[in-house]
Amino acid sequence: MRKTCPIWTEFVVDCSERLSRRAWRFAPFMPLTKDDVAAIETVAHYTRDEDQCYLMLYGEGVFDTIPIEADYTIGDMKLWIQMHKNKDPSEYDLVGPKGKWKMGAGSEVLGDDVLIADVMGERFENKWLMQLSLFPKKKNEKTGEMESTFETIEEWVPPPPEEAWDSERERELVASLAEEDDA
């Protein structure tokens, strides 16, 4: 009779559990079918849900919130927009966080094979409401091809609160009030 080492068994079980939770990130993605996409219904009023992630699609005649899963891609969202909103994917870009979501991360056009869960990171994991924006493309007069109108936004760090609302008008007002106090 063969004996198993309890430490090795625990390690194997732990690894297999972690792999099953993360396997979707490493497996080749399977795009949603038209039937899958047709079954995704909008929610009228978003409320935080401990069990379900939601994504808001916003812009160019689209303002909808839909439930999403960990393996949904940008391409899947374009298929949803095409089926539910009758919008041709060649006429717009879907824009989201640059790299991985964080406050001030910047924004960029996302490729069709990008997993939404990967770019949303913490927002997806904590089931916070997420957003992708639609930006229209315009037709290039010379080539006839549709081109993006979106310019990538680099990481943005907000100014400290004491500088955030400082404007020339405010400085003039403060200076005039100080002069009045001195007089």
In a domain, 9, yes or no: no
The answer to whether position 7 is within a domain reads no
Position 19 in a domain: no
Q: In terms of C-beta density within 10 A (0-12 exposed, 13-18 middle, 19 or more buried), how is residue 29 classed?
A: middle
- Whether 17 maps to a domain, the answer reads no
In a domain, 142, yes or no: yes
pLDDT range class, residue 164, cuts 50, 70, 90:
low
* Mean pLDDT over each residue of the chain, to the nearest integer: 81
pLDDT per position as a tens digit, 97-126: 998 898 888 899 999 999 999 999 998 999
More reliable by pLDDT, 9 or 169: 169
Q: Which residue has the tokens 């717009």?
A: 92
How far apart CA 93 and CA 60 sit, in angstroms, is 10
Q: What's residue 142's pLDDT? A: 94
Measure CA 93 to chain center. 13
Highest mean pLDDT of the ranges 16-25, 69-78, 159-168: 69-78
- The answer to whether residue 2 scores a pLDDT higher than 80 is no
Lowest mean pLDDT among 40-49, 77-86, 91-100, 158-167: 158-167
121 in a structural domain: yes
Residue 160 lies in a domain: yes
Domain range for residue 57?
A: 28-182
Place of tokens 């909808």: 64
pLDDT the model gives residue 83: 94
What local confidence, expressed as pLDDT, does residue 11 receive?
40
Q: What is the CATH number of the domain that holds 80?
A: 3.10.20.90
Q: Domain total for the chain? A: 1
d(CA 25, CA 18): 12
**What are the percentages of helix, strand and coil residues in the chain, rounded to 5?**
40, 20, 40
* Chain-centre distance for alpha carbon 30: 19
In sequence order, what are the residues at sequence separation of 6 or more whose Cβ sits closer than 8 angstroms to the Cβ of residue 175? none
Element (H, E) at 147: strand 146-148
Residue 22 lies in a domain: no
Residue 113 dihedral angles phi and psi, to the nearest 5°: -90, 5
**pTM for the whole thing?**
0.69
User: Among all chains, which residue has been given the structure tokens 């949803």?
Assistant: 80
